[in-house]
Structure 1
Amino acid sequence: MSYHFITSAKLPTRHGEFDIHMFENGDGQEHVMLTVGLPRAALDKDIEQTPLVRIHSECLTGDAFSSLKCDCGAQLNTAMQTIQQAGCGAILYLRQEGRGIGLTNKIRAYALQDQGHDTLDANLMLGFPADARTYEMCGAMLAHAGVDKVRLITNNPDKVAYLVDHGIEVVERVPLVVGVNDMNEEYLATKRDRMGHLLDKDFNTAMHLNK
């Protein structure tokens, strides 16, 4: 499915000013890109000038309500701050709540988690895949910003693989382990142990400091 650019504007935030860009597909599904210093630095050959990029899926409970059940809000805010400090980068904010199952089903999954099931099994019990997200919109969004290589802020190797498979050079994977607390320790351990997220050293250190 193809995505096309709709409009953009300035967006002042507590982390600094971004340019906010709106994209939409033929079904009216919207996605957002925040940028700083682009497309100016996208053609620079030095790794220090390669844009920092975060692919972040919408999480209303974490991003807006500061939920402690996940690390999403902390990841978003840290990525915004880090990209502002770097002076060159983008956040691709994808409207696929609950790993693509939607907000209502995400809360149904939360109810199953309250009964003792982990985040992966909860999705499976509802008849959904462990992760229903797609990333086909990322190419069009990055192309609009003039970006063909990135320093990707992620713990998820699937995001690295997707970009590489679609012609985006991932110069560096930048870990992002923040927001670790007693309420989301099992959630993060599930992402590490069952979903392949690269959390071992940084996650163990964060849990040790948290305790």
Structure 2
Amino acid sequence: MTTAVPAGENSRTDVPLCTVRAEVSVPVDTGTGPVMARMMTFSGLLDGREHLALVFGDAPGPAPLVRVHSECLTGDVFGSGRCDCGPQLQEAIGLLAADGGILLYLRQEGRGIGLYNKLDAYLLQDEGLDTFEANRRLSFEADLRDYRVAAQMLDALGVTSIQLLTNNPDKAAQLTASGITVLESVRTGVFLHSSNRRYIEAKAQAGHRIVLTDTATA
């Protein structure tokens, strides 16, 4: 299901240019077999972090499908059931491998608070707080992620218009404000089960475009 996202005004006054630093071909596991992707690093990113782009298929077309995915070591690598990050990443890789597009992997663990702080937030969630409340209890904003670096990376790849694979309207809003035209917002799946229900409910209450069902699988 897709929903249109207003493009707004394209202004790059607060988004300096960056450049592709290196490019290497990497076989990426899609769950059904490896697919080659071009993995790229960048110089001149605003926050100085080591963000990556994976480009699937031929050179990006006029409005490629793009997934902006924030790093989640616990979910992406270890398969933690406390969130839906791992399944969202695998879904995105499968779609991009099949149809072409770009995965931007941003090193913004725990909505930008870092791995150790995220695990501290887990302890607070075990006491009853939701994921956003826990971040605030630790004296952080609910979500510190800055998607201007994603706009920088897209610009370095020569991409100014995209279809954005996300349920999070803040991603589209920040990219639009940074000069990227979001022609369409394509919803991800809802990977709901009993261990992550409170997490997904909190995201839905925060404005993510998620339709919850009455039941969750084990």
Query: Unaligned stretches of 5+ in structure 1?
Result: 43-49
* Partner secondary structure for residue 17 of structure 1: strand
1:58 aligned partner, one-letter code: E
The answer to whether the 8 A contact 2:84-2:192 is kept is yes
The answer to whether the 8 A contact 2:148-2:175 is kept is no
1:72 aligned partner, one-letter code: C
Q: Which of 79, 82, 99 lines up with 1:66 in the alignment?
A: 79
Instruction: Classify 1:26/1:167 alpha carbon distance in 2 versus 1 (closer, same or farther; 3 Å).
Output: closer
The offset of 1:5, in angstroms, is 2.4
Return the TM-score normalized by structure 2.
0.85
Q: Which of 40, 55, 77 lines up with 1:35 in the alignment?
A: 55
The offset of 1:71, in angstroms, is 0.3
Q: How far apart, CA to CA, are the structure 1 residues paired with 2:119 and 2:47?
A: 25
1:21 aligned partner, one-letter code: M
1:14 aligned partner, one-letter code: D
The answer to whether the 8 A contact 1:54-1:91 is kept is yes
Q: How far apart, CA to CA, are the structure 2 residues paired with 1:124 and 1:27?
A: 22
Between 52-61 and 141-150, the greater mean CA deviation after superposition: 141-150
Q: Which runs of 4+ in 1 moved over 4 A?
A: none
Higher RCO structure, 1 or 2 (CA under 8 Å, sep 6+): 2
Q: How far apart, CA to CA, are the structure 2 residues paired with 1:30 and 1:109?
A: 24
Between 33-42 and 181-190, the greater mean CA deviation after superposition: 33-42
Return the TM-score normalized by structure 1.
0.87
The answer to whether the 8 A contact 1:55-1:153 is kept is yes
1:173 corresponds to 2:173:
no
The offset of 1:26, in angstroms, is 7.1
The answer to whether the 8 A contact 2:60-2:159 is kept is no
Q: Which of 17, 22, 28 lines up with 1:13 in the alignment?
A: 28
Deviations 1:111-160 (A, max 9, x none): 11111111111111100000011011112211222211111000000111
Between 76-85 and 136-145, the greater mean CA deviation after superposition: 136-145
The offset of 1:167, in angstroms, is 2.1
* Partner secondary structure for residue 41 of structure 1: coil
Q: How many residues align?
A: 198
The answer to whether the 8 A contact 1:34-1:92 is kept is yes
Instruction: Output the aligned Cα RMSD.
Output: 1.8
The answer to whether the 8 A contact 2:41-2:53 is kept is yes
Q: How far apart, CA to CA, are the structure 1 residues paired with 2:54 and 2:127?
A: 37
The offset of 1:54, in angstroms, is 0.5
Instruction: Classify 1:210/1:41 alpha carbon distance in 2 versus 1 (closer, same or farther; 3 Å).
Output: same
Q: How far apart, CA to CA, are the structure 2 residues paired with 1:162 and 1:180?
A: 26
Percentage of identical aligned residues? 42
The answer to whether the 8 A contact 2:51-2:107 is kept is yes
Q: Which has the higher helix share?
A: 1
1:161 corresponds to 2:161:
no
1:133 aligned partner, one-letter code: R
1:147 corresponds to 2:159:
yes
2:217 aligned partner, one-letter code: N
Instruction: Classify 1:22/1:188 alpha carbon distance in 2 versus 1 (closer, same or farther; 3 Å).
Output: same
Provide the residue aligned with 1:77 in structure 2. Answer: 90
* Partner secondary structure for residue 210 of structure 1: coil
Between 69-78 and 134-143, the greater mean CA deviation after superposition: 134-143
Provide the residue aligned with 1:210 in structure 2. Answer: 217
